Amino acid sequence: MRLTLCLSAAVGGLAVLITTTAAAGDLPHVAIVAAASNTVMEQTNTRYTDVRDKLMATGRFSAVDIFNATRFGPGTPTPAEFAQWDAVIVWSNDSFDDSVAMGNALADYVDGGGGVVVSLFANTSSNTARQLLGRWQEGDYVAIPINLSPGTLGYAQGAGELGAILIPDHPLLEGVSTFITRWGVNSSGIFGGYRPLEMNVTPGSVKVALWNTGHTLVALPPNPRVVELGFHPVSSDVVASAYWDAATDGAVLLANALTYVARSPLPAGDYNCDGQVTNFDIDPFVLALTDAAAYAAAYPGCDLAAVDADGDGVLTNFDIDPFVNLLLGE
């Protein structure tokens, strides 16, 4: 009761109307956030649209947006842009507009409940402009460490296919029975079939599946909102002699990764959107009641409608008792 009275004194008689554009049970709304090509035409460039179209063809997403993360596009999504997506897939084939800003923004997004899938070459390139830097490298978001071997490109090449499955029946591999890469030979030697050169993963990370060459194909870092893939997500429909074979299950693997990390429904009362209801939700709850704009700025990934304590769509003092009951586990 003391907690209820303290909250009542703090919030007065204010009410906040909660609106939402997504109904419960909607398919995930995801995005491609990639430096896939130095172009201003990302909405029609096949290095972006190939992945979008294959993901949409799985029928598992309500929308797949394309965000050009090079200097020819917007660069780095804002918190408001990230907030509309349940998960994003990130990769590079050219330089990010700002690899530090991108790493910081992705870390903030994951901390706010969003999901991130990272694929080549953002997790293998020896070019720092094509890596995810900043806070991304300082937290628990990374499974495949940045390659620091001098004189290397950061990736291996050549023939390859799905090899050892280290965690049988893992949902990331559901429906994945074949995965093969295309590759070719030119005057410089073998090219294509790209995979991480670095064979190890970071402490606390887990390999889910390998290439038949022993390189990492799928890995999980300590952070449960992140999946790393050891292949370039663009298919052989774009580059026939270099990328994963479009006749195999690469699209299923990509879709599995995104749905695996996609923002999960949060419990009622979880006002800091960390997936649980604890005393750490008290201050965000009071802030939401007293200053909706400040709450939105402090918790950009949170949807008030999803965590409303009494479920009536309006945040008022009448939410205090239900919120206290949720805190007490009643």
Longest dimension (CA), the chain: 77
CA distance 75 to 186: 33
Query: With contact defined as beta carbons under 8 Å apart, do 140 and 186 qualify?
Result: no
Residue given tokens 């093969």 in the structure block: 180
> pLDDT tens string for the chain (330 positions)?
344 445 554 555 454 544 333 343 479 999 999 999 999 999 999 999 999 999 999 999 999 999 999 999 999 999 999 999 999 999 999 999 999 999 999 999 999 889 999 999 999 998 999 999 999 999 999 999 987 666 667 889 999 999 999 999 999 999 999 999 999 888 888 888 999 999 999 999 999 999 999 999 999 999 999 999 999 999 999 999 999 999 999 999 999 999 999 976 678 888 887 778 889 999 999 998 888 888 888 886 677 776 788 877 678 888 899 999 988 887
Chain centroid offset of residue 129 CA: 20
Of 229, 99, 209, 226, nearest to 155 by C-alpha is 229
Write the CA distances from 135 to 104, 125, 244, 295, integer angstroms: 5, 18, 30, 23
Rg of the chain over all Cα atoms, to the nearest angstrom? 22
- The per-residue pLDDT for 317 is 86
Strand partners, 184: 191
Tell me the residue type at 150.
P
- The per-residue pLDDT for 299 is 81
- The per-residue pLDDT for 312 is 76
- The per-residue pLDDT for 70 is 98
Q: 137 φ, ψ to 5°? A: -85, -10
Beta strands in 16-95 (DSSP E): 16-17, 29-35, 63-68, 87-92
- The per-residue pLDDT for 301 is 60
71 φψ region: left (φ > 0), alpha (ψ -120 to 50), beta (else) = alpha
- The per-residue pLDDT for 264 is 66
CA geometry: angle at 320 spanning 317 and 323, to 5°? 145
